[in-house]
Chains A and B, each alone.
Chain A
Amino acid sequence: MEKIPLLTPAPHLRSAETTSRVMWTVVLALMPAAAGGVYFFGFHALNIILVTILTCVISEVVCQAFFRRPFRIADGSAVVTGLLLSFVIPPTLPLWMAVLGGFLAIFLVKELFGGLGYNIFNPALAARAILLASFPVEMTRFLPPFQPAVDAVTAATPLAIVKENLAGNLPSLGSLFLGIRPGCLGETSVLLLLVGAAILLARKIITWHIPFTYLLTVALLAAVFRQNVLFHLFSGGLILGAFFMATDYVTSPLSTRGKLIFGVGCGVITMLIRMRGGYPEGVCYAILFMNILVPVIDRATMPTVYGQRPVRKMRSGHEN
């Protein structure tokens, strides 16, 4: 009786998509904006990017060893977290703070909750929020682009200028689109972020539901508050947040309907913070707040099970 060595449960065909391919594609999609960040803000930006990535990867290895979990560095998720964290901190941040942020993102926000797939909050955004609360000065010290030295004259972000009626020139919409403005390391260039977003959409890593509803809600509310709609779309971390943070699988709703609700919620909170809150920018807290609501949204948007719709009248057949 000849034995067949290989036995696996059905199905015997699987799609080519894997979790690590998804993660590495996100890394690829973030590359244009990363290059832009280094181009705009200089060498220190590159250091920050490399240091946050390295910190996240090392923290993940240490945590997985500590929690006796299988090592899955190759899946790229720690690299994505590190890269995204570097994007949402100012390009002037001292490196040790970036290291602390990377460690908190992986240890506190991700691995302590169970590792990949189990975290409640987006690790990069939660780490940013902790850094902002801990180092309010360093986390809001922004550089105008193309200033080589770290101790150069700082500048306010466009949203801060508007919010706090600061002195300073508002950049043109064109500069905002290209990313030539003070801001966090990877958030400034709408153009380069959209290039990455196009990659994610084309590869079907993300769907339009969250970013589209997010941006639409911001645009509508900007109009309601009688603001310049394009200024609000191009400023702050909105494009980065809408396409790369709010779409994080783990911390966003499962169903399409849930994603639509999530996007709208992010948009509403972002604009409420921008217009009525204490901070000039609200993307980070908006997404973190909506992260909390994900289980509730998931529960409320369960798909309708087949066979639970009422029986319809037979569709009349066409003749052949």
Chain B
Amino acid sequence: MLSGGIHPVSFKQLTRAQPIQNFPLPQKVVIPLSQHTGAPAGPVVKKGDLVALGDLIGQPESFVSSAYHASLAGKITAIEPWYLPSNRRSLAIVIEADGSDRRKQSSLSDWQDLTPSEIVERVKAAGIVGMGGAAFPTHVKLSVPPGRTAEMVILNACECEPFLTCDEQVLREETSQVLEGLQVICRATGVSEAVIAMEGSKGALEALVKACFAEREWPARMRLEILPERYPQGSEKQLIEAVTGRQVPSGKLPIDVGCLVFNVQTSLAVLKAVRENWPVVDRVLTVSGLVDRPVNLRVPVGTLVADILDYLGIKVKAGQKLVMGGPMMGVSIPDQNVPVLKGTSGLLVLGQREGYSEQAPCIRCGRCLEACPMGLVPAEMGRQARTGNWDRCAQLNVNDCIECGCCSYVCPSKLPLVAWFKWAKAELKRRKS
């Protein structure tokens, strides 16, 4: 059971159990080479080149980096800096469709014949990153460092952010493939136990997953763990605690407590990479909020937000905001010309009412302490961060903040606590370098 956390209204019924729709091929995609955590990829194509769907366009330049592939058959029209949703800029490859349906050859192979290092190689070549949002390169996670042992693989099917149902729907529609992907991950990491962690009771979906357990002889043992609904249970550290009772020490990785956590769509991508040699060129995201037709949509990586809004006939009105990701941790974007990334799980239109109210001074009510899943003291950190006392923030463990936003959510004075902590963390990081 995780400590702290909150119970926001889920809004998931807007898109729950709706079949995934496919976005028609866009005219143009913009594929930033730094969608992941780590060093940016280097372009391996140049302006004017013709590419097929699935062709390599960006190569990882170090171990903690990732590959990128064309999500559209067409012509490279530009390689230029582009704004990401986070308002950072990254070198991006722009592909414009040329109407062809050229497609990279995929080859079927039996993953059970592959060695763990061959699996990791394929995952790396397929450009897989954590598709839950953090976008950490998956091949790095799969490479268990010497001296450490992975004991348990956890499939993160919690999707604790309100509104989002894309992972749930992928698991519903492709249950057996997601679980097979999990088996591949177990093989790559030498783990014999996998846990599918899900939130709340999802009757039919639970039955589907359990039916898949019995479907065939799986090499790794699998079990389903139903956790009580709580945000931010889908956060890696919180999920590990909820499932195993272990806490990842500050500054350490899940592997240090023997755990590896993978998102539903990451698992599916791993299977496609290993079995079909097929890279990450699309993902499913939830488009919801103040829209007429909320939907789970499969879109090519690099599709511009403006194109999705056009396709769905969504007009963002004055006083509304456009959020990429979930409502708790997602960013509101100033410009619709940003691309969908591998880690983009949602596109939400939200009103002012949901996120804004006049600020008042902190009245020390203590709600933020109760809500913080990391056991921090947001009220005190906020007081220090406001006045730029970064050293004191560091002493109060601001660097352990997972930026889940629970403190800001519960604050009756509507203080932008988590925004201050992000600022404090950035300042501390800047000072260190």
Name B359-380 residues within 8 Å CB distance of A. 360-367, 369-370, 372-377, 379-380
> Is B8 engaged at the interface, CB distance under 8 Å to the other chain?
yes
Q: Give residues of chain A (290-318) contacting chain B, Cβ–Cβ below 8 Å.
A: 298, 302-309, 311-312, 314-315, 317-318
Residue of B nearest to A320 (CB): B223
Q: How far is the CA of A9 from the CA of B244 in the complex (A)?
A: 33
**Contact residues of B: prevailing secondary structure:** loop
A1 touches B335 (CB 8 A): yes
Please state if B364 and A117 are interface contacts (CB–CB under 8 Å): yes
Q: How far is the CA of A103 from the CA of B363 in the complex (A)?
A: 21
Question: Bound complex: CA of A256 vs CA of B241, how far in Å?
Answer: 22
The reply to whether the CB of A201 lies closer than 8 angstroms to some CB of chain B is no
- A residues less than 8 Å from B222 (CB atoms): 320
A116 to chain B, nearest CB (A): 5
Q: Which of B301-332 contact A (CB under 8 A)?
A: 306, 316, 318-323, 327-332
- Judge whether A320 and B355 touch: CB under 8 Å: no
CA distance A304 to B376 in the complex (A): 8
By a CB distance below 8 angstroms, the chain B residues around A6 are 318-321, 332, 352
Assuming the contacts A4-B335, A9-B418, asked whether A309 and B247 have C-beta atoms less than 8 A apart, the reply is: yes
How many angstroms between the C-alpha atoms of A224 and B55 in the bound complex?
82
Q: Is A22 a contact of B363 with CB atoms below 8 Å?
A: yes
- C-beta contact mask, A221-255 vs B, less than 8 Å → 1, else 0? 00000000000000000000000000001101111
Q: Knowing A7-B321, A117-B361 touch, does A314 contact B151 (C-beta < 8 A)?
A: yes
A63 to chain B, nearest CB (A): 14
Q: Are the C-beta atoms of A311 and B328 separated by less than 8 Å?
A: no
Let me know if B337 is at the binding interface, CB within 8 A: yes
CB pair B249 A12 closer than 8 Å: no
Given A116-B363, A254-B369: A15 touches B332 (CB 8 Å cut-off): no
Of A3, A19, A254, which contacts B366 at CB under 8 A? A254
Which residues of the partner chain A approach B140 to less than 8 Å between Cβ atoms?
A: none
Query: Which B residues are in CB contact (< 8 Å) with A306?
Result: 3, 237, 241, 247, 250, 373-375, 400
Contact A11 B223 (CB under 8 A): no
Return B383 CB to nearest CB of chain A, in Å: 9
Which residues does chain B contribute within 8 Å of A138, judged by CB atoms? none
Q: Quick check: A11 and B366 within 8 Å, CB to CB?
A: no
Residues A254 and B364 in contact, CB atoms below 8 Å apart? yes
Shortest A36–chain B CB gap in Å is 27
Interface residue? B193 (CB, 8 A): yes
Interchain CB contact under 8 A, A14 and B408 = yes
A-chain residues with CB within 8 Å of residue B408 when the two chains form the complex: 9-11, 14
Q: Is A115 an interface residue (CB 8 A)?
A: yes
B348: chain A residues at CB < 8 Å are 12
Contact between chains at B319 and A254 (CB < 8 Å): no
Is the CB of A20 closer than 8 A to any CB of chain B?
Answer: yes
Write the nearest CB–CB distance from B329 to chain A, whole angstroms: 5
In the complex, A314→B243 CA distance in Å?
Answer: 9
Partner of A8, one of B195, B213, B332, B379: B332
The answer on a CB contact under 8 Å between B321 and A8 is yes
In the bound complex, residues from chain A placing their C-beta under 8 Å from that of B365 are: 22, 249
A17 at the binding interface (Cβ < 8 Å) = yes
Give residues of chain A (20-67) contacting chain B, Cβ–Cβ below 8 Å.
Answer: 20-22
Q: Which of B190-217 contact A (CB under 8 A)?
A: 193, 195, 210, 213
Q: Please, which residues of chain A bring their CB within 8 A of the CB of B362? A: 117
Write the chain A residue with the least CB distance to B367. Answer: A17
Complex-state Cα separation, A8 to B258, whole angstroms: 38
A13 in the interface, Cβ–Cβ < 8 Å? yes
The one of B328, B370, B379, B410 that contacts A256, using a Cβ cutoff of 8 Å: B370
Bound CA span A302–B319, Å: 40
Query: Given A116-B363, A117-B361, A254-B380, do A12 and B247 touch, yes or no (CB 8 Å)?
Result: no
Q: Is the CB of B306 within 8 A of A4?
A: no
Q: Is B108 an interface residue (CB 8 A)?
A: no
Known: A10-B418, A305-B400. A4 touches B210 (CB 8 A): no
Name A306's closest neighbour in chain B (CB-CB). B374
B298 interface residue, CB < 8 Å from A? no
Question: Does B336 reach chain A (CB closer than 8 Å)?
Answer: yes
Q: Are B213 and A10 in contact (CB under 8 A)?
A: no
Q: List residues of B (159-173) whose CB comes within 8 Å of A's CBs.
A: 162
Instruction: With CB as the reference atom, state the residue of chain B lying closest to A18.
Output: B412
Q: A14-B414, A117-B363, A317-B195 are in contact. Are A307 and B252 (CB under 8 A)?
A: yes
Task: With both chains docked as a complex, state the minimum distance between the C-beta of A22 and any C-beta of chain B, in angstroms.
Answer: 6
Do B258 and A314 touch across chains, with their CB atoms under 8 A apart? Answer: yes
Cα separation A315 to B361 with both chains bound (whole Å): 43
Q: B257 an interface residue at 8 Å Cβ cutoff?
A: yes
| B377/A13 in contact, CB under 8 A | no
Inter-chain contacts of B258 with A (CB < 8 A): 314
A311 vs B249: C-alpha distance when bound (angstroms): 8
Q: Which of A7, A13, A22, A249 has the most chain B CB atoms closer than 10 A to its own CB? A: A13
Q: How far is the CA of A176 from the CA of B280 in the complex (A)?
A: 74
Contacts A10-B329, A254-B364 given; does A303 touch B377 at CB 8 Å? yes
Residue of B whose beta carbon sits closest to that of A75: B360
Contacts of A317 in B (CB 8 A): 193, 195, 223, 225
Residues of B within 8 A of A250 (CB): 363-364
Q: Which of A1, A10, A13, A118 contacts B361 (CB 8 A)?
A: A118
Distance in angstroms between the alpha carbons of A10 and B355 in the assembled complex: 8
Q: Nearest Cβ in chain A — how far from B137, in angstroms?
A: 23
Determine whether B413 belongs to the interface, using a CB cutoff of 8 Å to chain A: yes
Which of A4, A18, A249 touches B333 (beta carbons < 8 Å)? A4
Instruction: Let me know if A72 is at the binding interface, CB within 8 A.
Output: yes
Interface presence of A5 (CB below 8 A):
yes
Contact (A10, B316) CB under 8 Å given A117-B364, A303-B377 = no
Contacts of B151 in A (CB 8 A): 314
Say whether B319 contacts A5, CB under 8 Å. yes
Inside 8 A of B350's CB, which chain A residues have their CB? Answer: 12
Measured in the bound complex, the distance between the Cα atoms of B354 and A40 in whole Å is 45
Is residue A319 contacting chain B, with contact meaning CB distance below 8 A? yes
Contacts of B418 in A (CB 8 A): 9-11
- Interface residue B419 (Cβ < 8 Å from any Cβ of A): yes
How far is it, in angstroms, between the C-alpha of A249 and the C-alpha of B372 when the chains are bound?
18
Considering the chains assembled together, what is the distance between the CA atoms of A303 and B370 in angstroms? 9
Q: How far is the CB of B397 from chain A (nearest CB, A)?
A: 5
Q: How far is the CA of A58 from the CA of B403 in the complex (A)?
A: 41
> Of residues 164 to 212 in A, which have CB atoms within 8 Å of B's CB atoms?
none
- 8 cross-chain pairs, A with B, having the tightest CB-CB distances, nearest first: A11-B405, A9-B419, A117-B361, A6-B321, A12-B355, A303-B375, A307-B250, A19-B360
14 A-B pairs with CB atoms under 8 Å apart are: A10-B328, A10-B419, A11-B409, A17-B410, A18-B360, A117-B364, A253-B366, A254-B364, A256-B370, A305-B376, A308-B250, A311-B247, A311-B249, A314-B245
